[in-house]
């Protein structure tokens, strides 16, 4: 099952390769939105596009993690190359366009945010080394990562996060989107629901999600906290 919607943490497994869940949006584009139970934000899903071009006129932040293909985003004096492993955090107010040069797929999440003078970009996210040590969780998990972007008021924080094996209590204080790139973990909700995380799982943990997390194999993920 690629979609787990009736869950405390809705998620998509095999997000980079799923096929039958994608719906035709037009002759060149297919989409697979992840129902989160929200009418506004966050908006989460997958877009797959054949060579095409469309405008970008954003009234919210949009994080895009490209898992295949080649695209170029142009606007506001910037030209941003997107290839597999590129994470681009387009900020609210961005105006420009995206041109798909080679059929591409990207996982996206949209949340409220603020304008910025430049667009945060991270390349080779599955392999780039962490730039900061973020301490420990629970009995033994060591956390590190890269902070890609965060608004002055703390909203719309994005980056790359690594956590070593261990067990720790988990309280999600803000809506959080995660695309797990590698490693394995088991999240257990306070209701008793068990959520198994494997590589290439895109998941949404809503504000006030509570439970535990046991990391079995070091986890690496792309994240966006609303």
CA distances for 208 relative to 136, 172, 173, 211, angstroms: 21, 5, 5, 10
pLDDT of amino acid 1: 53
- Compute the mean pLDDT over every residue in the chain, rounded to the nearest whole number: 96
Nearest to 141 by CA among 182, 185, 196, 188: 185
DSSP 91: P
Contact 107, 158 (CB under 8 A): no
Strands 166-171 and 176-189: unpaired
pLDDT digit string, tens, across residues 170-183: 999 999 999 999 99
Four-CA torsion 94, 149, 173, 171, nearest 10 degrees: 130
pLDDT digit string, tens, across residues 204-219: 999 999 999 999 999 9
């Amino acid at each position: 099952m690629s979609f787990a919607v009736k869950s405390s943490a809705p998620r998509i497994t095999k997000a980079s390769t799923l096929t039958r869940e994608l719906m035709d949006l037009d002759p060149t584009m297919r989409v697979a939105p992840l129902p989160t139970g929200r009418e506004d934000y966050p908006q989460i899903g997958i877009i797959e596009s054949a060579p095409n071009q469309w405008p970008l006129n954003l009234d919210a932040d949009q994080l895009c993690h490209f898992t295949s293909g080649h695209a170029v985003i142009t606007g506001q004096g910037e030209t941003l190359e997107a290839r597999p492993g590129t994470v681009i955090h387009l900020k609210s107010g961005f105006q420009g366009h995206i041109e798909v040069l080679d059929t591409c797929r990207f996982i996206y999440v949209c949340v409220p945010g603020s304008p910025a003078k430049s667009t945060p970009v991270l390349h080779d996210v599955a392999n780039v080394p962490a730039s900061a040590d973020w301490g420990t969780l629970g009995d033994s998990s060591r956390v590190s990562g890269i902070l890609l972007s965060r608004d002055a008021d703390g909203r719309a924080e994005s980056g790359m996060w690594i956590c070593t094996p261990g067990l720790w209590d988990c309280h999600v204080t803000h809506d959080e989107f995660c695309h797990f790139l590698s490693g394995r973990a088991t999240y257990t909700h306070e209701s008793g629901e068990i959520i198994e995380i494997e590589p290439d799982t895109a998941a949404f943990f809503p504000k006030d999600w509570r439970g535990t997390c046991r990391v079995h194999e070091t986890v690496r993920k792309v994240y966006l906290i609303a």
